[in-house]
C-alpha cells in the first residue's frame, strides 16, 4: 500500500477501488468535501482506509489524518456514512484552517465464510450472489475451488482445519457456515473456528452447521468435551441451520440459510425453539377456520 502521508492521483484511487470491489475486499473511502482557510489538501482529495489498517493515498497526514483513520474504524463497525469536521487549529494540525471529510464504506456487503465447496456450498454462492454478501469459500480439496478462483466477489481459500486459523479473518460482521463432507470434518473445522473466535475475542454474529438433528447432537457432544467455554458458546451455534421452509434441494437449503443469516446480521431473530432449532409455522395454522354456513352463527 502507499504511504498514508503521500497524496496520489485520483486515477490510482479509482484503480484501487476497482480492485477492491472485484476481489470483495472491504474499505472506507474518505473524501475532502469542504475546506476553509489553510488546509493540507484541497476539496475532492481522497484516500482509502483498508480493513487491515493500511491506507492508500492521503488527506493531509499528521494528527488530522490519524483522527480520520480512527473514525473509519467506527464506519467499519456500523456501515454508516459519516461527515467529520476537522479543526486544524485545535491540536489536529498547524495549517490553521478547517476541513470537512466524508467517510463511506467501499462495500456494504458482509463477509460470508463457507467451509465446504460441495453442493450446498456452491449453491450458497450462486443463490446469494445478488445479496449484500461477499463470499469466502474454504475447502481442503483444490479441485473443488478451481472453478471459483476468478469469480468476482468470491475468494477461495485452500485450508484444512489445522490451517484455518492462519487463513481466515473473523470480524463482528462475518457470517460462517460449516458444510463440509462429513461430521468429523465439520467438528474439526468448528473447533478451529471457535478457537479463532476466542483468540481474537470476536464472536461471529452468525455461525451455523449444516446437517440433521442427529448430526447436531453428535457434534455438540464432541465440542462439549473441550470445556465449559466451548459449551457456553455452542448454545448460540445454529444446528440445524437455516429457516424451516421445508427445503430439499441445495438451492432451497441455501435460500433458507441466507435468509436466516441476513436476519441475524441485521439484528432480527427468526423463529427458533428452546433448543436453538428452526421452527416453521404451517400456513394452515395461521388461517381462520372455515365456517359452516348451516351452523349457528354461520354466514349466509
Asked whether the beta carbons of 226 and 187 are under 8 A apart, the reply is no
Q: Are residues 261 and 119 in the same domain?
A: yes
Q: Are residues 244 and 193 in the same domain?
A: yes
Residue 291 lies in a domain: no
Q: What is the DSSP string of 30-73?
A: EEEEEEESS-SS-TT-EEEEETTS-EEE-SS-HHHHHHHHHHHH
Task: Quote the CA–CA distance of 247 and 157 in Å, as a whole number.
Answer: 28
β-strand partners of 84: 101
Task: Quote the CA–CA distance of 274 and 193 in Å, as a whole number.
Answer: 24
Q: Are residues 53 and 132 in the same domain?
A: no
Non-local CB neighbours of 182 within 8 Å, separated by 6+ positions? none
Q: Are residues 133 and 163 in the same domain?
A: yes
pLDDT of res. 6: 63
Residue 46 lies in a domain: yes
pLDDT of res. 154: 87
pLDDT (tens digit, 0 to 9) for every residue of the chain, 300 residues total?
434 456 678 889 899 888 887 666 778 999 999 888 878 788 888 999 988 788 999 888 788 888 899 999 888 877 789 999 988 776 655 666 888 999 998 876 788 999 999 999 999 999 998 888 889 999 999 999 999 987 877 889 999 999 999 999 888 778 999 999 999 999 999 999 999 999 988 899 999 999 999 999 999 999 999 999 999 999 999 998 999 888 999 999 999 999 999 999 888 877 666 666 666 545 444 444 444 444 344 333
Q: Are residues 85 and 124 in the same domain?
A: no
User: In the chain, how many domains are there?
Assistant: 2
pLDDT of res. 294: 46
Q: Are residues 67 and 179 in the same domain?
A: no
Domain with 228 in it = 110-265
Residue 275 lies in a domain: no
Residue 23, CB half-sphere, CA atoms under 13 Å: how many?
9
Q: Are residues 96 and 137 in the same domain?
A: no
Asked whether the beta carbons of 143 and 173 are under 8 A apart, the reply is no
Predicted TM-score (pTM) above 0.85: no
| Pick from 118, 180, 177, 124: nearest CA to 154 | 124
Residue 87 lies in a domain: yes
Q: Are residues 132 and 215 in the same domain?
A: yes
Amino acid at each position: 500500500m502507499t504511504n498514508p502521508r503521500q497524496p496520489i492521483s485520483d486515477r490510482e484511487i479509482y484503480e484501487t477501488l476497482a480492485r477492491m470491489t472485484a476481489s470483495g475486499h472491504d474499505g472506507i473511502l474518505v473524501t475532502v468535501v469542504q475546506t476553509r482557510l489553510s488546509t493540507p489538501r484541497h476539496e475532492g482529495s481522497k484516500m482509502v482506509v483498508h480493513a487491515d489498517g493500511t491506507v492508500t493515498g492521503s488527506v493531509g497526514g499528521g494528527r488530522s489524518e490519524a483522527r480520520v483513520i480512527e473514525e473509519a474504524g467506527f464506519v467499519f463497525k456500523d456501515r454508516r456514512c459519516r461527515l467529520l469536521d476537522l479543526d486544524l487549529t485545535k491540536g489536529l494540525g498547524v495549517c490553521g484552517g478547517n476541513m470537512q471529510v466524508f467517510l463511506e464504506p467501499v462495500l456494504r456487503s458482509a463477509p460470508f465464510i463457507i467451509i465446504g465447496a460441495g453442493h450446498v456450498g456452491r449453491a450458497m454462492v450462486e443463490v446469494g450472489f445478488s445479496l449484500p454478501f461477499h463470499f469466502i469459500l474454504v475447502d481442503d480439496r483444490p479441485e473443488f475451488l478451481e472453478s471459483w478462483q476468478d469469480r468476482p466477489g468470491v475468494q477461495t481459500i485452500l485450508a484444512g482445519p489445522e490451517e484455518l486459523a492462519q487463513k481466515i479473518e473473523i470480524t463482528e460482521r462475518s457470517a460462517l457456515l460449516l458444510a463440509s463432507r462429513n461430521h468429523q470434518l465439520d467438528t474439526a473445522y468448528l473447533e478451529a473456528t471457535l478457537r479463532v473466535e476466542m483468540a481474537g475475542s470476536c464472536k461471529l454474529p452468525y455461525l451455523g452447521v449444516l446437517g440433521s438433528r442427529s448430526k447436531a447432537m453428535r457434534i455438540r457432544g464432541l465440542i462439549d468435551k473441550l470445556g465449559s467455554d466451548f459449551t457456553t458458546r455452542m448454545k448460540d451455534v445454529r444446528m440445524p441451520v437455516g429457516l424451516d421452509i421445508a427445503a430439499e434441494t441445495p438451492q432451497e437449503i441455501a435460500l433458507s440459510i441466507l435468509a436466516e443469516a441476513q436476519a441475524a446480521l441485521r439484528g432480527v431473530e427468526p423463529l427458533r425453539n428452546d433448543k436453538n432449532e428452526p421452527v416453521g409455522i404451517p400456513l394452515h395454522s395461521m388461517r381462520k377456520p372455515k365456517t359452516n354456513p348451516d351452523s349457528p352463527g354461520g354466514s349466509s
